[in-house]
A and B are shown apart, each in its own frame.
Chain A
Amino acid sequence: MNRSFHILVGGVSALLIALFLVLLIGMLLELWQQTSLRAPHFSEIVFAARLSLITATLASAIALAVSIPVAYAFSRYSFPGKDLFDTLLDLPIVLSPIAIGALLLIFFNTALGRQLEHWFGPFVFEVRGIVLAQFVVVVGLSLRLLKETFQAIDVEYENLARSLGYNQMQVFARVVLPMARRGLIAAFLLTWGRAIGEFGATVTLAGATTMKTETIPVAIFLNFESVDISSAIVFITILITMSFAILLFVRKTEAYVR
Chain B
Amino acid sequence: MAIHLGCGRADEDTLGSLTLFCGSASKPAMEEISARFERETGIEVNTIFGGSGTLLSQIELSQQGEVYLPGSPDYIIIANRKKLLVENSERIVAYLVPAIITPVGNPAGVRSLSDLARPGVRVGLGNPETVCLGLYAVELLEANDLLEKVMRNVVTFGGSCSKTANLAAMSQLDAILGWRVFHFWNPDRMAYVPIAPEKIPRISYIPISIPIHTKDLELSRSFIEFVLSPAGRSVYEDLGYITDLEAAKKLAPRATVGGEYTLPQEYFDLLEGLREQR
Contact = CB atoms under 8 A, between A and B. Distances in A.
A43 interface: yes
Contact of B62 (A35, A125, A224, A226): A125
Interface of B: 1, 3-7, 9-10, 19, 24-25, 27-28, 31, 46-51, 54, 57-58, 61-64, 160, 162, 165-166, 169-170, 182, 185-186, 188-190
Interface of A: 34-36, 38, 43, 46-47, 50-51, 54, 102, 105-106, 108-109, 117, 121-122, 124-128, 131, 203-204, 207-210, 212, 221-222, 224-229
24 contacts: A35-B188, A43-B1, A47-B3, A51-B3, A105-B61, A106-B61, A108-B61, A122-B6, A122-B7, A122-B9, A125-B10, A125-B19, A125-B58, A127-B5, A131-B5, A207-B58, A208-B24, A209-B48, A210-B49, A224-B162, A225-B50, A226-B28, A229-B170, A229-B186
Contacts of A128: 5-6
Given A109-B61, A227-B165, A229-B169, A212 B46 contact: yes
A229 B27 CA distance: 14
Secondary structure of the B contact surface, majority rule:
mixed
A223 to B, nearest CB: 9
A204 B58 contact: yes
A122 B31 CA distance: 24
B263 to A, nearest CB: 26
Contact of B46 (A204, A209, A226, A228): A209
Contacts of B169: 227, 229
A117 B7 CA distance: 12
Nearest to A107: B61
A212 B7 CA distance: 10
